[in-house]
Chain A
Amino acid sequence: MTRLWGLGRRPTAREQRDELLSAYLDGQLDAEVHARLTAQLADDPVLLSELEALRHTVEMVRELPPLPVPRNFILPQPRTARPRSQPAPGLRLARLAPFLTASTVVVSLLFAVVLVGDLLFGGRMGMSTAPLNEAPLLLEHELPAEAPAPLPSAGERDVAVTAVVEAESEAEALPLAVPTAPDAAQEYAGSAPESLDTAESENAVRGGTITSEVGTVTPGPVAAGSTEGELPAASAPPDWATPAPGVVTEFAPALDEELPPSEVMPYQEDSELPETAPTAPVSSWRIGEIILGLASLGLALVTVWAWRVRRH
Chain B
Amino acid sequence: MCHAMDEASLVTAAQQGNMDAFNELVLTYQQPVYNLAYRIMGDPATASDATQETFIAAYESLERFRGGSFKSYLMRIVTNRCYDVLRRRKRRPATSFEDFGDIDEEANPALVNGHEGPDEYAERQEMAGVIQAGIQTLPPDQRITLVLSDVQGLSYDEIAEATNVALGTVKSRLARGRAKLRDYLREHEELLPARYRLEDEDRKH
Contact = CB atoms under 8 A, between A and B. Distances in A.
Given A64-B151, A67-B34, A87-B63, A75 B176 contact: no
B150 A73 contact: no
A58 B143 CA distance: 13
B77 to A, nearest CB: 9
A19 interface: yes
Mostly, the B contact residues are helix
Contacts of A129: none
Contact of B124 (A3, A65, A75, A82): A65
A84 B30 contact: no
Given A53-B198, A75-B19, A84-B63, A19 B171 contact: yes
A69 B175 contact: no
Interface string B51-81: 1100111011111000000000000000010
A63 B51 CA distance: 22
B87 interface: no
B156 interface: yes
A309 to B, nearest CB: 9
A87 B27 CA distance: 24
A66 B175 contact: no
Contacts of B15: 84
A83 B14 CA distance: 11
A60 B127 contact: yes
A69 B182 contact: no
Given A19-B171, A52-B204, A61 B146 contact: yes
Contacts of B26: 72-75
Interface string B97-110: 00000010000111
A136 B63 CA distance: 62
Contacts of B137: none
B19 A77 contact: yes
A26 B156 contact: yes
A18 B151 contact: no
B3 interface: no
Q: Which of A21, A23, A84, A87 has the most CB of B within 10 A?
A: A84
Nearest to A22: B175
Given A60-B131, A64-B132, A22 B179 contact: yes
A57 B124 contact: no
Nearest to A78: B19
B179 A60 contact: no
A131 interface: no
Contact of B176 (A18, A60, A68, A69): A18
Contacts, number: 139
A33 interface: no
Interface in A44-60: 48-49, 52-54, 56-58, 60
B176 to A, nearest CB: 7
Given A67-B35, A68-B108, A62 B151 contact: yes
A79 interface: yes
Contacts of B51: 69, 73
Interface in A1-23: 3, 5, 11, 14-15, 18-19, 21-23
A91 interface: yes
Nearest to B48: A70
A3 B57 CA distance: 37
B178 A57 contact: yes
A18 B179 contact: yes
Interface string B147-165: 0011101001000000000
Nearest to B205: A52
Contacts of A48: 205
B156 A75 contact: no
25 contacts: A18-B179, A23-B175, A26-B149, A28-B156, A53-B182, A53-B198, A54-B182, A60-B131, A60-B185, A61-B181, A62-B150, A63-B127, A64-B131, A64-B132, A65-B108, A67-B38, A68-B31, A70-B34, A71-B48, A72-B26, A72-B30, A73-B48, A79-B59, A87-B63, A312-B61
Given A61-B131, A69-B31, A88-B60, 6 more contacts: A49-B204, A60-B185, A60-B196, A65-B124, A70-B34, A75-B26
The 4 closest A-B pairs by CB, nearest first: A22-B175, A80-B19, A19-B175, A74-B23
